Structure 1
Amino acid sequence: MSFGKISLVACTALTIAVPAAAQEPAGDAPTAVPTPANGAQRYGAADFSRFAPRTALDMVEKVPGFLIVTGTNGGERGLGAATENVLINGERIANKSTDARTALARITASEVAYIDIVDGAGLNVPGLTGQVANIVLVAGAGSDGFETTLRWQPEWRPRLDDNWLNGEVSTTGKLGGTHVTLSLKNEARRQGHWGPERRFDRDGNLSFIRDEIGRYDADQPRLSAALARTAANGNKWNSTLAAS
């Protein structure tokens, strides 16, 4: 509560696993987490159980002393994933239109085997410095179907329009060896201001007082599809389609 205004923000997140057609069963999380290399700090799934995480983002945000850095955090322009300090299975997020937070929010917590916090200078990845989080997924994660994540963040504020449409639904999995991610995201905003406005004349005398209210609503729906595939010779290709 500030300046007589009351703001109520409600947020809920729901993760649903939707199995696809029968395929080879995915491997379970390793019973023994491998020994960290190069002085890495390793956090297994059990380290986050008390937080009841739903996504990989929930887990990384609970790592002590670690802060996710994206291109928008540092103010860099045109560098994309080169500025981010998050890796997935030891590789950069190969999608220029998806930042680290968005990518992690589309990975369910059950897909994460462990998280390593390492010194970027010791990795064979150009441009990485400082602390880096490497999210290692369970072997075979996503090969037995699609994982669907629903994020819904409604907002209710006095004297402003209710915000019911802020959120994202995404699904990720594999089709014939191609990793597929589909998402529908809406960045909805219901903002504004209100209160007394005092107008003074040139001599500083109060002319009148009026009650002012302003509303600024915006919706930014975006439908996107990302495809990633590793060829038999080790070459990787990525493709992204988006409409907004």
Structure 2
Amino acid sequence: MALSVRRQPRYKFAAPVLSPSCLQKLCVPWEFGARLAAGAGDVQEVHVVDLLGKPRRVELCMRPRPDGGVACWLGAGWPEIVRKNGIGEGWSVVLRRERRGMATLTAYDPACCLAGLCAPPAGVTSKTRPRFIKLLRPDDREKMTIPDEFVQQHLIGAESCPSSQKALIIGPTGKLWPVELDQRQSDVLYGEVWAEFLTAHDLSEGNILLFRYEVNMSFSVQVFLPNGCMKEYP
């Protein structure tokens, strides 16, 4: 069964599990850099809206590679964003292109949860839906564990969660996938439907999945290629 309305998401780039070098210079695929670029030139200024909602100037650099490709990265200005937003080694980031010359940053802590949502200030309710990010590994084809911190913060005590035996996955094409849920293991997605979901979307080790919790154990999912580019489906 497919949803009646499918919205085309804005183009994104995902960088999972940042290394120390990524905190100084964030390499991005040419496909994303070309869409973000505000004009011509090997080095140009773009703006990245950080976790605090502040637009910050960053240099987008492009250089030809010996193999004929183009190397792209965020240079000057990126380390300041990392420092001011508390992003560190082992974190993951997603950049969403808003328009030419501007992107919005979201960050995921080492527990793979959207930063700022796992432990919101007392008495404050965020309007942003909870999310977590997963870099697929070989074992995830048989079963995939929802991060424990995400479970503790957003699923335990949620309506219908304790008795639910399935999680509803809304795929990037809008199709619904009722996936078996094993709550004895801190909420594990597994079974034939989970394997069918991965096969139908041509997913394997190295792909990146971005889960957004909707309501009542339903999740919408966006898919990224191993190079971080958003995987597009017809």
TM normalised by structure 2 equals: 0.26
More strand by proportion, 1 or 2? 1
- State which structure, 1 or 2, has the greater radius of gyration over its C-alpha atoms: 1
More helix by proportion, 1 or 2? 2
